[in-house]
Each structure stands twice: as C-alpha cells, then as structure tokens.
Structure 1
Amino acid sequence: MASIEFITLDVADLAAADSFYTAAFGLDTQIRLRASETPTSGFRGFTLALTVSQPATVNSLIGSAIDAGATVLKPAAKSLWGYGGVVQAPDGTVWKVATSARKDTGPATRQVDEMVLLLGVADVAASRRFYVDQGLAVAKSFGRVYVEFAAGSSPVKLALYRRRALAKDAGVSPDGTGSHRLMIGGNAGPFTDPDGFAWEAASPALTS
C-alpha cells in the first residue's frame, strides 16, 4: 500500500525552522526541512494536523509553539468535534492541534497520536481518483467534500479537503499563489498531483 514516510518543508531560514520545530512539537522523523527562497504568498493550500489525546496536551503543544514564535490563527477552544486550535509557524506553515476528547484524563504530555497532511484541492472526487490510481487506499470518504486515506504503518496520514473549506477551517483566506513549499516523501512517488503537490521517492534521512 502506498504511504507517506515524511514531509519536507521549504523554509527561508533553515536554522530558525529547525529550532522552531524542535521546541514547538518535538518532530523529527516526520518532518524534514530544506532551504528555499521559492516565491509564495497567502495560503499554500495545505495544513498539517496533530491529533493528541486530551485538551491539556493541545494547550501544551500550542503553548510551546507560541513560545517558539508561532502566530495564533485560531485560539484553542471547545467545538462540536472536541477541542483544538490553529497556529502558523514562522516559516508560514499552518498547524492544527486537536483532540476529540472534551476532558483531561491525566497530566499534559507532548505525545502526538497522529499526524495528518490535509491537502486543499479543487476537485475532491478527481483528486481521490488520482491518488487511488497511485496506490493509496481510501479509509473514509464524504462525497466531494472530504477523503481520508489509510495510513497503515506510515507516520503521516493523507486527507483531501476542498481548498476553501480547508482555509476556513484554518482561519485564513483561501487566496494564495506560488509554490506550496511542500514536498511529500513516500513509496508512491515521484509524481505531481492535479493541484501541483509534488511527491518524491522516500529515501533515508540525511545524517551529518
């Protein structure tokens, strides 16, 4: 089954971005960074979501991100589906941290249960067909609104959402141009999807 092994983010300041992600979320294997000055503006068409076990952990991770320099797009709050908030990293990437739980069951931790890459696409049905043809298996589907693919043993789950709906969920304008500043590393690549999101063949992490 096709899967995502890691996400590469293009950033203007490699050292600053590395410092941010270490301090904010403690991510290492799932996220890679690459220096790039490729032009981009506005919404880049994707968000990254971290699913955790309880509200206290949401607050802990969002607090760490803010302390490390993130901007709040949506303050952490209760909703119909649980509890969560949205921040934007200094490099421009939009992150959502959420839980389906409404009450804490213990002390806050920094444990991330699931990481989801949500791509904002023009036509959910067409993009679903494209990814199925690339070897991804559909786990959940809500017509032309939302599709989630099975992750298997992958550290990153892929989901598709209509671009305007994804931007609204993130608390930003859907307008944006230029590079996504995102490269998806997996065993299905290399290819570029209908919305311009590029995949590359997964390779071992670089070591110094």
Structure 2
Amino acid sequence: MTSIEHITLEVADPTAARTFYSTAFGLDAQVRLRASEAPTTGFRGFTLSLTVSQPSTVDSLVATALAAGATTLKPASKSLWGYGGSVQAPDGTIWKIATSAKKDTGPATRAIDEIVLLLGVADVTASKRFYVDRGLAVGKSFGSKYVEFAAESSPVKLALYKRRALAKDAGVPADGTGSHRIALGCDAPSFTDPDGFAWEAASLTPSA
C-alpha cells in the first residue's frame, strides 16, 4: 500500500451530502459517498483538513461551507502556526480549513493545496509501525504525538494524532461510540487498522 486513492464518507443522504461538498469545497473526485445508517455518536475519531495558501482562501471556503449548511466548531482565527478554523458538515464530518500564512499575498482563490486525513489513534507509535509495515513512508514524525506520511502521488495525505488531542484541535469532546462512518480507498487488499478504520481496495469501492 502506498497511497489513499480516495475517501468514502458514509452518510444518511448521499444526494444532499454530494450537493454540500460540491458547493462548499468543490470536492468531487477525492470524496465519495454511500448511504449508511450505522449507529454513531460523538466524535468519530477523525478529521479532514484542507490546506490552502492564504487567510482569504480560508475565509472563502469557511463561508461557503456555512452557507451550505455546515456549523462552526472553531471560528477562523490567527494562531502561532497560521490561520484557520473548523466546521462540521451536515453529515457530521469535521473539516478544518487552514493555512500557514498569516497574511494574504494576493486575491482570494478557491484553490485547495492539500487534503489531509487525520486519524485519532490510541497509540501513535503502534499505529505508525502498523502503517509502515504496510508500505507507507514517514514524512514527518514528532515522537509519540504526531506522524505524517509521505503523500507521493496520493490525492489525500494521511496523518496520525492522539485521539484526545485531535478532538481538542477540532473543538469537540473526545468521547464517541459506534461507526467511524468513513472508509479509505487504497491500492491494496482490504484491511482494518488497530483503531477500527476500514481500508478498502479502491477498485472495489463504488463511487457516488
């Protein structure tokens, strides 16, 4: 396994979710949808981040997400690392929109530089070893706190973070039960990781 080909969000209403993601972020190829009523409560153990070039792009994407029905979890603001905020889509998925830049260098755009899937895990070191054993190369590593894998040609970058820290960063309580409501399409046979995240062979994952 060398990459995430796409992500599949399991939602109650795929048609409504498709309208949201197309309108809010312009995402089509990277995000697939399928109907699911699997029980889930609270934090689902992951967030999706959109990395952009400047604060005005953050504001533009946040504004269209809120207009399309998302709710604010953390209003966009400056911090030590840059500028960003987080919202929750109508289907329950948490999205963070951020930039490392603190000032605009040009007109606002809608361009997304990177999509990053952050998995909240119980043991970062153990999960890092699990994924390295399956062919992923480490891009950045900060001990037992955070790991980011090299994206290569993958349209979605994978990173690992302690579950409680990830929930705090998103602005929600860490408690949650039931389905993660996400599946990851990969260039390998299907498997499930130590924290219950399902990976599916991309060729077997239908699009919606």
- Structure 1 residue 159 displacement after superposition: 0.1
- Structure 1 residue 205 displacement after superposition: 7.6
CA distance in 2, matches of 1:188, 1:204: 11
Aligned to 1:72: 72
CA distance in 2, matches of 1:188, 1:158: 15
Deviation string, structure 1 residues 100-150 (Cα, Å, up to 9, x no partner): 001111111110000000000000000000000111000111110000000
- Percent of paired sites with the same residue: 75
Contact residue 190 and residue 199 of structure 1 kept, 8 A: yes
Structure 1 length normalisation: TM-score?
Answer: 0.97
Aligned to 1:133: 133
Aligned to 1:16: 16
Residue identity opposite 1:120 in structure 2: G
- Structure 1 residue 207 displacement after superposition: 7.3
1:148 aligned onto 2:158 = no
- Structure 1 residue 189 displacement after superposition: 3.6
Structure 1 unmatched runs, 5+: none
Query: Matched residue of 2:48: which SS?
Result: strand
Aligned to 2:111: 111
- Structure 1 residue 202 displacement after superposition: 1.0
Structure 2 unmatched runs, 5+: none
- Structure 1 residue 204 displacement after superposition: 7.9
CA distance in 1, matches of 2:204, 2:173: 36
Compared with structure 1, are the counterparts of its residues 172 and 29 closer, same or farther at alpha carbon in structure 2 (3 Å cutoff)? same
Residue identity opposite 1:188 in structure 2: A
Counterparts of residues 33-52 of structure 1 (less than 5 Å)? 33-52=33-52
Query: Matched residue of 1:61: which SS?
Result: helix
Task: Give the total of aligned pairs.
Answer: 208
Contact residue 185 and residue 199 of structure 1 kept, 8 A: yes
- Structure 1 residue 15 displacement after superposition: 1.1
- Structure 1 residue 164 displacement after superposition: 0.1
Query: Matched residue of 2:203: which SS?
Result: coil
Deviation string, structure 1 residues 153-190 (Cα, Å, up to 9, x no partner): 11000000000000000000000000000000011341
